[in-house]
Structure 1
Amino acid sequence: MALLEFKLPKNLTKALKITTYSPKRQQVRVLKKLLKKARFTEFGQKYRFDELLLAKNPTKKFQEYVPTYNYNKIYAEWWHKTLEGKPDICWPGVIKYFALSSGTSEAASKYIPITKDIIRANKTTMVRHFLTLTGYQDIPVKSIGKGWLMLGGTTDLQKGPTYYAGDLSGISATKVPFWFQPFYKPGKSISKTKDWNLKLDKIVEEAPNWDIGFVVGVPAWIQMVMEKIIERHHLKTIHDVWPNLAFFVHGGVAFEPYKKGFERLLAKPLTYIETYLASEGFIAYQDKQNGKGMKLVTGNNIFFEFVPFDDQNFDSEGNMVEGARVLLLSEVEEDKDYAILLSTNAGTWRYLIGDTVRFVDKQRAEIIITGRTKHFLSLVGEHLSVDNMNKAVQLVAGELNLSIPEFTVAGEPHGTFFAHHWYVACDEHVDKELLRNRIDQTLKDLNDDYAVERDSALKNVYLDVLPEEKFLAFLRHKGKIGGQHKFPRVLKGKMHQDWREFLKTGA
């Protein structure tokens, strides 16, 4: 039976009704719903949620009463209590699940609360997104009704005193709706496998037994598993085993660097669809073919605020300063970078998730991800963003006909001045000096501040070309394999030290 033939449960069908309200009005309704549900929690009592609900302008009062938080602050003041099993702290009840998230630059794991309410909300958004796929001209309806492979973390979660913890993808896989289970691959048995390499081996062996219509995951890991399947079963392309494979749902990193490598594994083009699913919530998804960006989920369970990502609101290390300017959705402008604050039904309140976005269509609340607050380089005022880096690599790779699936950049001293050090993954023959010069020049063309500083205090650019496997080996070495783990585009602090040591010793 095809997936689209299933009748959705009544409560989910009701939740899926697409509201006709404007994004601004949706956001007010979402905030009121969150405040009402959490008003008897410790957090709700401290910040007088009952009073906020009676205010003429609850959104502005919410901003006046409730402080902003980063992870360290909200954990120290509130979330540590939820890990101890105490109920009704930031959200009603006991928190039974936590998503382990270390981002891509920090060593210690963060415990992000995952409530029943947010799991339910993520499912609703997932199905809303799924239903938009029928409007994509390049996706055959039969492929939507086939199996889907989600390459995520293990569903065999870590057991704490009163909770379970693991990758969000692993937690989500344990909660797959019954009406999706016949189509979900690799299935419950393989998904429980903790050893990432063993899990991949099982997937590779079982691949010919599945009829896969679409794949979901981080590009690097999806590409690797497809390469292994082709090699193991002596195929020319992945379509030799999955002829109905039509689209790839990805997120977390820019896809363009991987596209050339992907296309070498295919007999026919795939449609690439971007989503924005973070540990803190399902934030946005691409809802139409050839859309400029992803549409924010403004009418479900997330109240959004935005902080202009500039020198007035963030320090040189990417930390939000005291008294930073915070805007509502209705106050943002197109083509400017913003850091996101989220309030959700997981007890996340005015929480800085660390990502930066840019609005490409304000009326539709459509965004692109431009980087992270701590993943940028501005040693001397060059203000080099991940978006700049991605574009430069994409343009130069196309110009030189290269596949560059991974790269990372670090700032280094250069005498009394500074330099950037690029590490680029490429398994083809490449003129390293030509690549260095072309990336440097392209960045000058893209970023005026960078161009100015390259003639001043940013004295040099170094570049090393490494096999792609070296990047994956480092992630394995750090215990960051599979699931939602990505290689950081900017290396700072301990991660930079560990990378340099790894390149020297391989361990």
Structure 2
Amino acid sequence: MAFYGQLIKTILEAKHALLPHEPSDPTAAQEDQLRDLLDTAKDTAFGKYYNFAGLLEKEDVRKAYRKAVPIFDYHKMNASWWKQQRRNPDITWPGSPDFFALSSGTTGKKSKRIPVTDEMLACTQRVGRAQAECLANFELPADLFEKDILMLTSSADLDEKDGWQEGEISGINVSNMPDFMEAVYKPGIEIAQIDNWDERVQRIAEEAPNWDVGALAGIPSWIVMMLRKVIEVNKLNNIHEIWPSLQIYTTGGVAFEPYRKSFEALLDHPIIIMDTYLASEGFFAFNARPGTMAMELALDHGMYFEFIPHDETGFDATGQLLDKPKVVDYRDVEENKDYALLISTPAGAWRYMIGDTIKFTNKEKMEIVITGRTKYWLNVVGSQLSEEKLNAAVAALNEQTDSEIKEFTVGAVPTEDGNDYYHQWILGVNKEGLAADRARDILDEHLQSVNKNYKVAREKALKGVRVKVTAANKLYDFLEQKKNKKGGQIKFPKVMTADDLEQLLDFLD
């Protein structure tokens, strides 16, 4: 009998039943989070400038905060405040950050430097514990709780700077892992600190027979590449031949659905897949129950959230934020409506637009799904295509053609006369056989059938659809050339500008 596994499972189930992590009153919980944040930071330069002490005296502190503090994106926050925080204490949060998370995202070569404070690390760990408690909602054997957990992250070998360390957020989190996790964490710090991606994955594949992995965590493109290497090096038919205890995969970073077919092809039998919303700026939501990929928003863990409707009340036709957008807090959100997310966190991010769009699928359960990036809305001619809709179209294409599209991108390109547009798709496949003309027809027909705005656009200024099919590895080669980083380690942009598409097409030709 798995004594320790049974003990851990019993404790999780008891804690989940007697002291549930989710707030009984989410609205009140969010006000408490905001008050705690404002009170902690009221004596910082930012808190004094925006009079946090005065805001705390207002009857409706959420409304007062919304009125007093402007909306920031990274560039505004960094230029005005975070740059100072690298040299001076008490700028946007008490003290000085020990870490900065580097994030280049999907655009540009220059990394963003996002502060990571001790309080933010503690916040992330609280959300992680809440997710672990939710394993009580799943039917899992006791011995699973004694198995290894393989987390595929960026390098944990952080760079030393003048008074802080920096690296990607997953590497920072691994470097600050709670002591109780070290016994089951794989591949271990030594391998995790290998900077070269190919070498790190090779070492994992070589060590794989020595581990009894029960759970995986990581970005799906990374995980698929790693599992393929383990299977190749150890001459396996599927990953369960070497890790028979594998039962859980915690995904995040990008939408999982485009990778589902590639991932499941590497398994002997289905496993539990749990989605997470973990970014450089924080751990915001996690899958808390079976039967859904929707995620519970962490409303009672140290962060405050606001929401900008992703419609004409929040953004213009080109996707730019309005000067005075409508903003709501949790009290007024509606289900099945797209919102751009604003966060305020104990890392000193204040009314910070992270760039993601979400929608509530079940407000009572505080559950959301990520529908895309604000910059990934394809709406040049009113087609109103979110990343969620693009992913669904590609999933339909995979299903109808038995294809394995690993990556894709699309954008609106002007016609030669400059009066109209067409959508240019580029599909990165793992196996040959997908005909471009058939892919074009399926994508176009699917989007017209499910999106009335796209259908109207096709009858007006959107004059056609073009598709180029190529090997997925060639798309990664393009990213590697542009960013000097292994392609599978970064997110491939789902929507590109006409200029970027031209560069990519030239590269592929």
Q: CA–CA distance in 1 between the matches of 2:226 and 2:480?
A: 15
Give 5+ residue unaligned stretches, structure 1: none
Alpha-carbon spacing, 1:461–1:247, altered in 2? closer, same or farther (3 Å): same
1:30 Cα shift? Answer: 0.4
The match for 1:486 is 491
Q: Deviations for 1:222-274, whole angstroms, at most 9, x for unmatched residues?
A: 01111111111111110111010011100122212211112221111111110
Alpha-carbon spacing, 1:356–1:112, altered in 2? closer, same or farther (3 Å): same
% same residue: 38
Q: Establish whether residue 94 from structure 1 lines up as the match of residue 96 from structure 2.
A: yes
Match of 1:443 among 444, 447, 468: 447
1:316 Cα shift? Answer: 4.0
Match of 1:52 among 44, 51, 55: 55
1:317 Cα shift? Answer: 4.1
| SS of equivalent to 1:469 | helix
The match for 2:33 is 30
Mean Cα displacement is larger for which, 171-180 or 393-402? 393-402
- Show structure 1 runs of 4+ deviating over 3 A: 1-8, 479-484, 493-498
Q: Which amino acid aligns with 1:207?
A: A
Q: Deviations for 1:264-303, whole angstroms, at most 9, x for unmatched residues?
A: 2111111111000111111100100013611100001110
Mean Cα displacement is larger for which, 480-489 or 30-39? 480-489
Q: Which amino acid aligns with 1:296?
A: L
The match for 1:398 is 399
Q: CA–CA distance in 1 between the matches of 2:135 and 2:20?
A: 16
Is the 2:27–2:330 Cα contact (8 Å) retained in structure 1? yes
Is the 1:292–1:366 Cα contact (8 Å) retained in structure 2? no
Q: Deviations for 1:406-430, whole angstroms, at most 9, x for unmatched residues?
A: 1111221112311111111221312
| SS of equivalent to 1:374 | helix
Q: Deviations for 1:443-463, whole angstroms, at most 9, x for unmatched residues?
A: 111111111111221111111
Give 5+ residue unaligned stretches, structure 2: none
Q: Which amino acid aligns with 2:99?
A: Y
Q: Establish whether residue 453 from structure 1 lines up as the match of residue 457 from structure 2.
A: yes
Q: Which runs of structure 2 are paired with 1:100-115 in the superposition (5 Å)?
A: 100-115=102-117
1:305 Cα shift? Answer: 0.2
| SS of equivalent to 1:456 | coil
Mean Cα displacement is larger for which, 54-63 or 324-333? 54-63
Q: CA–CA distance in 2 between the matches of 1:464 and 1:125?
A: 42
Q: CA–CA distance in 1 between the matches of 2:488 and 2:288?
A: 24
Is the 1:38–1:44 Cα contact (8 Å) retained in structure 2? yes
Mean Cα displacement is larger for which, 401-410 or 293-302? 401-410
The match for 1:307 is 308
Q: Which amino acid aligns with 1:109?
A: S
Q: Which runs of structure 2 are paired with 1:234-245 in the superposition (5 Å)?
A: 234-245=235-246
Q: Deviations for 1:47-76, whole angstroms, at most 9, x for unmatched residues?
A: 111111122111111111111111111111
1:18 Cα shift? Answer: 2.5
Q: Which runs of structure 2 are paired with 1:49-198 in the superposition (5 Å)?
A: 49-83=52-86, 85-137=87-139, 139-198=140-199
1:480 Cα shift? Answer: 4.2
Aligned residues: 497
Q: CA–CA distance in 2 between the matches of 1:210 and 1:369?
A: 33
Q: CA–CA distance in 1 between the matches of 2:247 and 2:330?
A: 34
Q: CA–CA distance in 2 between the matches of 1:254 and 1:499?
A: 22
Match of 1:503 among 487, 497, 508: 508
Alpha-carbon spacing, 1:251–1:133, altered in 2? closer, same or farther (3 Å): same
| SS of equivalent to 2:198 | helix
Q: Which runs of structure 2 are paired with 1:253-292 in the superposition (5 Å)?
A: 253-291=254-292
Q: Deviations for 1:441-493, whole angstroms, at most 9, x for unmatched residues?
A: 10111111111111221111111111121223233332343796211111127
The match for 2:467 is 463
| SS of equivalent to 2:300 | coil
TM-score w.r.t. length of structure 1? 0.94
| SS of equivalent to 1:277 | strand
Match of 1:425 among 402, 406, 428: 428
Q: CA–CA distance in 2 between the matches of 1:181 and 1:472?
A: 33
1:141 Cα shift? Answer: 3.3
Q: Which amino acid aligns with 2:205?
A: V
1:160 Cα shift? Answer: 2.2
Root mean square deviation, CA, Å: 2.1
